[in-house]
């Protein structure tokens, strides 16, 4: 057994799969808990009676206080919580899909360049125009363009080669990272540059409720599509010839998976900037718990990713008086978690 | 063999870049038989199998499955008739044996339908047929070579395919497992399966095959019953090594190479005896 | 090979000669805001500003020495928001650009300009340029009293000590008048003010806490911090519930007024959201126009108490006296609107 398989070793038994049923209720509880946390202090009794008051009207609570509470809960915290869950789920699912597609556990959603491209698109828009809608559209468009470039590079040389796809992604990421550097260089160092850097670090603090409403459906659809494609991903990991002989078109499946995963990853950047590490470590943890079957791992990674990012965001915004950029927290937490995962796996090597 | 061929290749030629891999090859496969494809390295055995499976497209000639053109059949239909058992290779993910066999049911599913109870039942049946039910929950990557091959064959059975195309199925197996696998294939053929397997060893053809195809430099040199084809002359022309084909008591036949280093001892008699009797 | 060697030799000779030449001019030693002793010529005719160029330029304008600035504006300052730079010093438009994008300094052009003094706020840059033989002064405008030291220093090197003193007196006087007018102001009468950079969700300049307080307000972000900027979240804004919000740019006013999350905030309810005015530089930051900021803010927070001071008249006076420029009414409007 090679070291790579050792890394993937997990309980593929049905016992492991029962784990995932605990995730949805856990997610709901975490969301409810997150609603109570924040800088704007809401007394516990007001919090508990809020749903009641929302439905049946204020009762003894001053009108302005109620309205403020409503704004904090429904327009600041709730969109943020939903965004955190959507982003976590998208990154978890697309990370898993990429790792299955490339048969490589060290792959992340940014592999084919979507994160580099989106970051560049957003920065470019902030340099030239700065209207929030333009920034979001630009981020999305360039994210897709970057992946398109990677695929084109692979196809020009030889279609259906995973290695070439990977190299295409490296080229594309490199290109858009350099272009991003140029944008940063050209930006006004006193005004534009700080806001570009702020945007790129990944932050849920300025998540736009309107954007969440619009993007929730496509993101869920993308995740659902990946779940539907998961059984084909299993077969794809056996090798193209075997997959072919089992009645599927490997190229078509690959393109479909890349499209869906890229789509939702680009949307996460639009919502909250580039958040790393989630797409890399969540699939590992999920596989450790439930085994390698993608039909289980993809939905489980989505749920676990949502839970993880939600809790991380709670930490980021409540631990200190000043909010820590979420990209920093995911990295700081992600690295020891990853090491722990590796440690558990090391036992399998003995 | 008066019946129609289940799988037939008619004058297929395959080119990879400028290189001709297969030239004008014609073979047929019938019901309930084991056919061995023999050929030296680079003769095009793997390519031929892949063309037969529809994994590669030949530029001349055609492949017929159940009398109809392979290229005109939908992929999922082909998968329900023909199964591919590839050479053993490393898997990245430790799917359980059951998971691997269940994947054989993919041709019966669509994007929207998950695996059903019926699918799981088929997988169980396939495992039972090959007597590997006890391996059901073991990670595939933990198994021995022989067990892994049986898993892949079980998957082929779960596919519902009656035609098994196998690429060097015994390579990498130890001696005992090789024999046991060949016996398994013979058993399957008796149950109505058609098995086409490529191999490097003439012995496998002699033991298990009903018919043999000799492939050299992309051309079908000989095709016929084992008795007709497996002559020392043919084998020597094939491998350029002098051999002798001999029958041992009890109806067992084997191919013995005329190895350069000869022995004068008798197997069974103690070597110390020999020295004293000098 | 010979050619290269000769070229090098000539350069060496030229450098020695030039340094000899500068050694011949009369100099004096001054102490910059970083405590470094710097040798500068007694007669300063040519200066270069590096770093936050518009801010540094405005300091020089106020001493009436805008013509001594030898460098053109860097790319980030060539925007409509900085248009008054070339209004106050028309010669700037034709000067060569020393500072490129990303704080990139073109040393060759700098050498070509042979400035008598280089002004900057970056200590690292100062050390770097010093090694190349330039006389560099590090200015500071962080602490509340830095402006005194800076203006005095600049007055010294330009020989305009009188003007510098005049400016300081003016500042003293105007702030004194404001303090007088606000005398007896109870704590409860001070409006809570938030100075807000929307794009980075920060209050970017500690100086703002000071001028808000000076003008009779209470800065929402004043927590005695030492760092320059503080970041906060939407929830913090709701928690603070400011009475007045001041944003960095005119287009942000509408953005704030239309953000549904802020609809319960006092400042938004009463539509008391304003853009910081901008002259040679946006007034909210460290700038020589700071006294005007205090006047404007006091007018905003306590119009009744400040009724006797005409802001527009003050602006006209200030710019005429120190910038030697007569502002039209249109220009005053533009400045007060934040120079869209």
pLDDT at B53: 92
CB-nearest partner of A188 from C76, C261, C264? C76
State pLDDT tens for residues B233-244.
999 999 999 999
Residue to mutate among A12, A107, A244, A245, with most B CBs inside 10 A, is A245
* Nearest chain A CA: its distance from C192 CA (Å): 17
Query: From residue C220, how far is each of B241, B242, C178, C300 by CA, in Å?
Result: 94, 98, 21, 16
Cβ-defined contact of A75 to C260 (cutoff 8 Å): yes
Name every chain C residue with its beta carbon within 8 A of the beta carbon of A38.
235
- Joined together, the tokens standing for residue C311 give 């802001």
Cβ-defined contact of B106 to A247 (cutoff 8 Å): yes
Closest CA to A35 of A70, A65, A87, A60: A70
Give the Cβ contact number of residue A44 at 10 Å. Answer: 9
pTM for this entry: 0.82
Name every chain A residue with its beta carbon within 8 A of the beta carbon of C199.
191, 194-195, 198
pLDDT more than 90, % of chain C: 43
pLDDT more than 70, % of chain C: 95
State CA A158 to chain mean position distance: 30
- Mark A290-324 as b/e (b = at least 16 C-beta within 10 Å): bbbbbbbbbbbbbbbbbbbbbbbbbbbbeeeeebb
* Nearest chain A CA: its distance from B112 CA (Å): 7
Cβ-defined contact of A71 to C263 (cutoff 8 Å): yes
Three state DSSP letters for A66-89: HHHHHHHHHHHHHHHHHHHHHHHH
Please state, in angstroms and rounded to a whole number, the distance separating the CA atoms of residues A20 and C325.
73
What confidence category does residue A300 fall into, taking pLDDT thresholds of 50, 70 and 90? very high
Query: From residue B16, how far is each of B19, B59, B198 by CA, in Å?
Result: 5, 10, 20
Residue where the block lists tokens 């007088």: C180
Whole-number mean pLDDT of chain A? 85
Please state, in angstroms and rounded to a whole number, the distance separating the CA atoms of residues A154 and A157.
6
Beta strand C230-231 with C273-275: parallel, antiparallel or unpaired? unpaired
Please state, in angstroms and rounded to a whole number, the distance separating the CA atoms of residues C336 and C340.
10
Is the pLDDT at A125 greater than 50? The verdict is yes
State pLDDT tens for residues C187-243.
888 999 999 988 878 887 778 888 999 999 999 887 766 677 788 888 889 889 999
Q: Which of 25-54 (A) contact C at CB < 8 A?
A: 38-41
DSSP code, position B267: T
Cβ-defined contact of B84 to A241 (cutoff 8 Å): yes
Closest CA to B251 of B226, B233, B224, B222: B226
pLDDT at A68: 80
Question: Which of the residue ranges A70-79, B60-69, C326-335 would you say has the lowest mean pLDDT?
Answer: A70-79
pLDDT at A160: 62
Report the half-sphere exposure of A301 (CA within 13 A, side-chain side): 35
CB-nearest partner of C233 from A68, A189, A323? A323
Range with the largest mean pLDDT of A46-60, A331-345, B180-194, B263-277: B180-194
pLDDT at A5: 41
Cα–Cα–Cα angle for C83, C88, C93, nearest 5°? Answer: 60
- Joined together, the tokens standing for residue A280 give 């890399």
Please state, in angstroms and rounded to a whole number, the distance separating the CA atoms of residues B52 and B57.
9
Q: Rounded to the nearest 5°, which phi and psi values hold at B38?
A: -110, 150
Q: Average pLDDT for residues A230-252, to the nearest whole number? A: 90
pLDDT at A62: 64
Residues paired with B198 in a beta bridge: B37, B167
Q: Do chains C and A touch (3 or more CB pairs under 8 A)?
A: yes
Give the Cβ contact number of residue C22 at 10 Å. Answer: 14
Task: Report which secondary-structure segment, H or E, holds C30.
Answer: strand C27-31
Whole-number mean pLDDT of chain C? 87
- Mark A25-40 as b/e (b = at least 16 C-beta within 10 Å): eebeebbeebbeebbb
- Joined together, the tokens standing for residue A172 give 């594309």
Cα–Cα–Cα angle for A259, A261, A263, nearest 5°? Answer: 65
pLDDT at B273: 58
Q: Is C329 on the interface with A (CB under 8 A)?
A: no
* Nearest chain B CA: its distance from A1 CA (Å): 7
Region for residue A128 given its phi and psi (left: phi exceeds 0; alpha: psi -120 to 50; beta: otherwise): alpha
- Residues C111 and C85 sit within 8 Å (Cβ to Cβ): no
In sign, the C-alpha dihedral spanning A218, A220, A223, A225 is: negative
Q: Rounded to the nearest 5°, which phi and psi values hold at C138?
A: -95, 120
Low-confidence ranges of chain B (pLDDT < 50): 1, 276-278
Range with the largest mean pLDDT of A13-27, A292-306, C278-292: A292-306
- Joined together, the tokens standing for residue A102 give 């490339």
Please state, in angstroms and rounded to a whole number, the distance separating the CA atoms of residues A143 and A146.
5
- 3-class SS of residue B1: coil
Question: Which of the residue ranges A245-259, B120-134, B183-197, C134-148 would you say has the lowest mean pLDDT?
Answer: C134-148
Cβ-defined contact of A189 to C103 (cutoff 8 Å): yes
Closest CA to C256 of C339, C195, C334: C195
Cβ-defined contact of C261 to A64 (cutoff 8 Å): no
CB-nearest partner of B79 from A4, A241, A247? A247
Cβ-defined contact of A229 to B107 (cutoff 8 Å): no
Is the pLDDT at A245 greater than 50? The verdict is yes
Cβ-defined contact of B90 to A103 (cutoff 8 Å): no
pLDDT at A6: 38
Residue where the block lists tokens 């200066």: C47
State pLDDT tens for residues C20-64.
555 567 888 888 888 889 999 988 999 999 988 999 999 999 998
Residue to mutate among A40, A195, A206, with most C CBs inside 10 A, is A40
CB-nearest partner of C201 from A72, A190, A205? A205
Closest CA to C276 of A196, A131, A191, A205: A191
Q: Is C112 on the interface with A (CB under 8 A)?
A: no
CB pairs under 8 A between A and B: 93
Residues 6+ apart with CB under 8 A from A135: A122, A125, A126, A129, A199
What confidence category does residue A117 fall into, taking pLDDT thresholds of 50, 70 and 90? very high
Higher pLDDT pick, A339 / B27: B27
State CA C233 to chain mean position distance: 27
pLDDT at A164: 87
pLDDT at C68: 92
Residue to mutate among A238, A256, A299, with most B CBs inside 10 A, is A238
What confidence category does residue C173 fall into, taking pLDDT thresholds of 50, 70 and 90? very high
- Joined together, the tokens standing for residue A128 give 């030239």
Q: Is C50 on the interface with A (CB under 8 A)?
A: no
pLDDT at B93: 80
**Which domains are seen in chain A, by residue range?**
14-349 (1.10.3470.10)
Residue to mutate among A37, A41, A67, A71, with most C CBs inside 10 A, is A71
- 3-class SS of residue C283: coil
Q: Report the residue count for chain A.
A: 350
Is the pLDDT at A153 greater than 60? The verdict is yes
Cβ-defined contact of A246 to B78 (cutoff 8 Å): no
Beta strand C244-247 with C192-196: parallel, antiparallel or unpaired? parallel
Please state, in angstroms and rounded to a whole number, the distance separating the CA atoms of residues A196 and A183.
9
Q: Is C54 on the interface with A (CB under 8 A)?
A: no
Please state, in angstroms and rounded to a whole number, the distance separating the CA atoms of residues C125 and C139.
12
- Joined together, the tokens standing for residue A258 give 């890349």
Is the pLDDT at A348 greater than 50? The verdict is no
- Residues B207 and B182 sit within 8 Å (Cβ to Cβ): yes
Beta strand C27-31 with C192-196: parallel, antiparallel or unpaired? unpaired
Q: Locate the chain A residue with the closest alpha carbon to B136.
A: A13
ipTM of the complex: 0.84
pLDDT at A345: 62
Residue where the block lists tokens 């690429």: B167
């Amino acid at each position: 057994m090679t070291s790579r398989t050792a890394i993937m070793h997990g309980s593929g038994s049905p016992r492991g799969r029962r784990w995932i049923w605990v995730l949805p209720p856990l997610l709901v509880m975490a969301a409810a808990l997150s609603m109570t946390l924040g800088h704007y202090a809401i007394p516990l009794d007001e919090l508990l009676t809020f749903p009641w008051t929302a439905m049946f009207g204020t009762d003894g609570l001053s009108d302005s206080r109620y309205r403020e509470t409503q704004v904090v809960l429904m327009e600041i915290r709730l969109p943020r919580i939903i965004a955190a869950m959507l982003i976590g789920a998208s990154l978890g699912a697309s990370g898993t899909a990429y790792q299955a597609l490339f048969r490589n556990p060290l792959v992340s959603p940014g592999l084919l360049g979507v994160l580099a491209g989106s970051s560049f698109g957003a920065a470019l828009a902030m340099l030239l125009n700065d209207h929030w809608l333009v920034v979001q559209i630009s981020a999305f468009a360039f994210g897709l363009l970057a992946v398109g470039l990677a695929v084109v590079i692979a196809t020009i040389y030889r279609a259906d080669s995973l290695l070439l796809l990977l190299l295409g992604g490296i080229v594309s990421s490199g290109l858009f990272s350099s272009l991003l550097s140029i944008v940063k260089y050209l930006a006004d160092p006193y005004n534009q540059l700080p806001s570009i850097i702020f945007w790129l670090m990944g932050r849920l603090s300025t998540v736009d409720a309107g954007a969440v409403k619009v993007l929730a459906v496509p993101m869920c659809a993308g995740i659902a599509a990946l779940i539907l494609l998961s059984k084909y991903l299993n077969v794809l990991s056996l090798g193209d010839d075997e997959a072919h002989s089992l009645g599927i078109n490997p190229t078509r499946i690959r393109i479909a998976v890349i499209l869906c995963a890229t789509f939702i990853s680009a949307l996460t950047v639009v919502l909250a900037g580039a958040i790393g590490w989630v797409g890399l470590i969540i699939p590992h943890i999920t596989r450790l718990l439930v085994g390698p079957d993608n039909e289980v791992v993809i939905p489980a990674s989505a749920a676990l990713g949502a839970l993880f990012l939600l809790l991380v965001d709670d930490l980021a915004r409540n631990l200190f008086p000043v909010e820590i950029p979420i990209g920093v927290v995911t990295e700081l937490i992600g690295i020891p978690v990853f090491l722990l995962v590796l440690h558990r796996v090391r036992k399998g090597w003995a | 063999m008066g019946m129609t061929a289940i799988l037939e290749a008619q004058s297929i030629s395959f080119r990879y870049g400028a290189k001709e891999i297969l030239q004008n090859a014609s073979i047929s496969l019938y019901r309930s038989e084991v056919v061995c494809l023999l050929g030296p390295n680079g003769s095009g055995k793997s390519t031929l199998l892949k063309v037969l499976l529809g994994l590669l497209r030949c530029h001349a000639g055609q492949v017929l499955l159940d009398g109809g053109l392979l290229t005109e059949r939908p992929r999922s239909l082909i998968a329900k008739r023909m199964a591919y058992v590839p050479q053993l290779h490393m898997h990245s993910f430790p799917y359980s044996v059951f998971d691997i066999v269940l994947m054989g049911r993919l041709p019966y599913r669509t994007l929207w339908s998950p695996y059903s109870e019926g699918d799981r039942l088929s997988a169980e049946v396939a495992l039972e047929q090959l007597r590997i039910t006890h391996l059901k929950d073991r990670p595939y990557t933990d198994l021995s070579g022989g067990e892994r091959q049986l898993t892949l064959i079980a998957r082929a059975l779960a596919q519902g395919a009656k035609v098994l195309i196998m690429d060097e199925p015994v390579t990498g197996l130890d001696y005992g497992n090789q024999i046991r696998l060949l016996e398994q294939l013979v058993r399957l053929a008796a149950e109505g399966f058609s098995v086409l397997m490529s191999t490097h060893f003439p012995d496998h053809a002699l033991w298990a095959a009903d018919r043999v195809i000799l492939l050299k430099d992309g051309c079908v040199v000989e095709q016929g019953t084992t008795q007709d084809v497996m002559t020392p002359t043919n084998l020597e022309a094939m491998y350029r090594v002098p051999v002798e084909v001999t029958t041992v008591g009890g109806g067992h036949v084997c191919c013995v190479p005329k190895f350069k280093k000869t022995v004068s001892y008798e197997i069974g008699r103690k070597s110390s005896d020999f020295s004293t009797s000098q | 090979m010979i050619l290269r060697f000769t070229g090098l030799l000539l350069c060496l000779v030229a450098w020695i000669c030039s340094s000899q030449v500068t050694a011949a001019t009369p100099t004096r030693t001054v102490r910059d805001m970083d405590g470094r002793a710097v040798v500068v010529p007694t007669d300063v005719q040519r200066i270069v500003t590096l770093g936050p160029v518009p801010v540094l330029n405005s300091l020089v304008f106020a001493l009436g020495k805008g013509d001594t600035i030898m460098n053109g504006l860097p790319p980030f300052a060539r925007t409509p928001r900085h248009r008054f730079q070339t209004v106050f010093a028309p010669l700037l438009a034709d000067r060569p650009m020393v500072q490129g994008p990303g704080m990139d300094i073109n040393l060759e052009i700098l050498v070509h300009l042979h400035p008598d003094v280089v002004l900057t706020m970056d200590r690292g840059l100062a050390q770097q340029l010093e090694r190349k033989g330039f006389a560099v002064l590090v200015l500071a405008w962080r602490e509340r009293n830095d402006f005194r030291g800076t203006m005095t220093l600049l007055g010294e090197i330009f020989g305009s000590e009188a003007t510098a003193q005049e400016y300081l007196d003016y500042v003293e006087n105007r702030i004194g008048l404001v303090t007088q007018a606000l005398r007896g102001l109870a704590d409860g009468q001070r409006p809570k003010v938030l100075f807000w950079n929307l794009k980075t969700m920060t209050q970017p300049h500690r100086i703002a806490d000071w001028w808000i307080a000076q003008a009779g307000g209470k800065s929402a972000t004043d927590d005695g911090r030492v760092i320059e900027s503080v970041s906060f979240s939407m929830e913090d804004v709701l928690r603070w519930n400011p009475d007045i919000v001041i944003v960095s740019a005119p287009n942000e006013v509408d953005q704030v007024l239309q953000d549904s999350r802020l609809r319960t905030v006092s400042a938004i309810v009463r539509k008391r959201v304003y853009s910081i005015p901008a002259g040679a530089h946006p007034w909210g930051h460290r700038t020589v126009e700071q006294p005007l900021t205090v006047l404007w803010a006091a007018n905003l927070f306590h119009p009744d108490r400040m009724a006797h001071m005409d802001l527009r008249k003050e602006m006209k006076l200030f710019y005429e006296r120190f910038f030697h420029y007569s502002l039209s009414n249109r220009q005053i409007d533009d400045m007060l609107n934040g120079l869209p």
